Amino acid sequence: MGVRSVATRVRALQYRLPEFPYAAIERARWAVTASRARDVSVPSVSRDPGSRAHVLIAPANFAGQGTAWARALMKEQDGVTAEAWMLTSEGSFAFDADQILPRDVQGRGRSWQDALFDAVVDGFTHVVLESGRPLFGSLFGYDSAREARALQQAGVTVAMAWHGTDIRRPSVESADNPWSPFRDRSHRAHVAALEARAVRNARLARASGVPQLVSTPDLLAHLPGAQWLPVVVDPSPWASAPPIDLSSPPLRVLHLPSNPWIKGGALLDRPLARLAAHAEIAVVTPGRLPPTEVPRTVADADVVLDQFRLHLYGVAAVEAMHAGRLVISLAGAPLRDAVRAVTAEELPVLSATPDQLEDVLRGLGADDVDTSTLARDFAARWHDGRESARALATALGID
């Protein structure tokens, strides 16, 4: 058993512990690296005295969504200002945010954490805590539910937001999904850790007593009573993509698997190779791209293959929709029912299991060009920030 596997198993056990031993382990964990953050200052907060609300979204900012939500809120709600803060690990990619701090600050002492809490309470009227991650380190035992209650007691309105694996229970997701990556026994330790974390986070969400928001419709099944907070994608980088042309082969097919295990990239290799061998498609799999290169690459494709192991759609699918590309993914009944429930619309994504993909690609025709137009309209309606700002304003009571 490798070191990483052992660490993952230990982490799964920790998530199952009661509050006190859990916090003791976290305190010891972050004390090891706290010295790296000894010169980090508590962020200063400058609140516009003319604003009726000043909102903080922190500390995850996964895929830059915290920042996107904050900007959408300011654009759509008069008199509201908002910031996104991000605690990130050394060497990891940091998306744009108003404040980017090393996660090692979670090991800083009581005086630093007190100063951070005071800065947040004095500077913000509303806070959205993301992903069950602590904002104030050991001050409240690395417990986001206690953080939420403490902020409320200090007069701050609080909500919580969840992005995906932080709240998605593998046992629930895989129950009726034969393609689920969580059925993969070679990842048993990792799946056990994900399950334990999601169970703990669901408990924190309930204990917090504050409104709950989830970024993708499928997560509503994992956190009953939550509200959908759509991901936001700026349509402007995608607007110049030309209309797709399905009439002249080869069909240009793009697959950008950010996480092959989760997205199922390996399951697509054989059907795509067979089609490419007969010159029916031209497959583009450029690997990881700088964000600035993605719009051009998507615009050069007719079809974008997204997600083939989970019933969800996220930022990559919305980007392709904004560009008017055909999106194909697993997108089965659980996802379609969830989208229909929150939008009263049909999801404009073509559904295919990995073993159906070859036939679906071969069968594309003129009617599917209409689907690409519907997809662009759907993305503009639900993912340009307007609906996200509305969801945040409702949850925070500032609408």
- Specify the CATH class of 3-232+388-396 in words: alpha beta
Cβ-Cβ contacts under 8 Å for 358 (sequence gap 6 or more): 271, 274, 275
pLDDT surpasses 60 at 42: yes
- Minimum mean pLDDT among 2-11, 15-24, 51-60: which range? 2-11
pLDDT score at 266: 87
The position carrying tokens 């009227």 is 125
Note the maximum CA span of the chain.
Answer: 67
Query: Tell me: the pLDDT tens digits for 123-166?
Result: 999 999 999 999 999 999 999 999 999 999 999 999 999 999 99
What pLDDT score does 94 carry? 67
Residues in Cβ contact with 215 at an 8 Å cutoff, skipping those fewer than 6 apart: 65, 161, 162, 163, 164, 228, 229, 230, 231, 314
More confident residue, 67 or 187: 67
Sequence length of the chain is 399
Which positions ≥6 away from 16 have C-beta within 8 Å? 196, 199, 200
- Same fold? 3-232+388-396, 236-382: yes
Strand (E) positions, 198-337? 212-214, 227-228, 251-255, 281-284, 303-305, 326-329
Q: Give the mean pLDDT of 231-248.
A: 92
Radius of gyration of the chain (CA): 22
Taking only the tens place, the pLDDT of each residue in 187-223 is: 899 999 999 999 999 999 999 999 999 999 999 999 9
pLDDT(323) > 60:
yes
Per-residue pLDDT tens digits for 330-384: 999 999 999 999 999 999 999 999 999 999 999 998 788 889 999 999 999 999 9
- Domain positions in the chain are 3-232+388-396, 236-382
Distance CA 143, CA 134 (A): 6
Instruction: Output the pLDDT for position 260.
Output: 81
pLDDT at 92 over 70: no
In the predicted model, is pLDDT for residue 27 greater than 70?
yes
pLDDT score of 1 more than 60: no
Give the residue among 60, 167, 140 at the shortest CA–CA distance from 103. Answer: 60
pLDDT tens-digit map of 250-307: 999 998 877 888 888 889 989 999 999 988 899 887 777 788 889 999 999 999 999 9
Which CATH architecture best describes the domain 236-382? 3-Layer(aba) Sandwich (3.40)
| pLDDT (average), residues 240-259 | 87
Q: Is the pLDDT of residue 2 over 80?
A: no
